[in-house]
Amino acid sequence: MSDLLERLRGRGWRLTAQRRVVAEVLNGDHVHLTADEVHARAAARLPEISRATVYNTLGELVSLGEVLEVATDGRAKRYDPNAHRPHQHLVCSRCGAIRDVHPGGDPLADLPTAERFGFTVSAVEVTYRGLCPDCARN
């Protein structure tokens, strides 16, 4: 946790109370939170923190590679602090719940150069969509 803060400081981040709180919220629980949820939890500790700051900080964490953004199709993006271990996502189409999965294998390797059309491919996202046990039961 504080190594995250150390890493950030090492990269020239100014360590403000707001950034600290956002980083702590993400690291606290291994749940995939929306920006709004991050804001709510951060505001519980630092009531005057603004939405814009949360968005900025999340964006910076994402571009530093410390956090992953998970698109959930229509709903709000969710943020996944578990960025260092490669993994994919299982997303419930009804409620938006997300679980990390670790199937192994490198999906990037499956894409032959001939199929890349000149794109510089830097990431692969594999998203399994379906219903979570609760929604399937419904």
List of residues contacting a second copy (CB under 8 A)? 69, 71-74, 77, 90, 92-93, 99, 101-103, 105, 107-108, 110-112, 115-133, 136
In angstroms, what is the minimal distance from the CB of 42 to DNA?
9
> Do 88 and 127 contact (CB within 8 A), yes or no?
yes
In angstroms, what is the minimal distance from the CB of 126 to DNA?
20
DSSP per position, 45-63: HSTT--HHHHHHHHHHHHH
Q: Identify what 102 binds: DNA, a second copy, none; CB under 5 to 8 Å per kind.
A: a second copy
Q: Which one, of 16, 74, 10, lies nearest residue 42 by Cα?
A: 16
The residues that bridge with 70 in the sheet, in sequence order, are 78
> Do 68 and 26 contact (CB within 8 A), yes or no?
no
Which x/- pattern, by CB under 7 A, does the window 15-44 give for DNA? xxxxx--------------xxx--------
> Which run of H or of E encompasses 38?
helix 35-45
Q: For binding to DNA (CB under 7 A), which residues are involved?
A: 9, 12-19, 34-36, 46, 48-53, 55-57, 59, 74-77
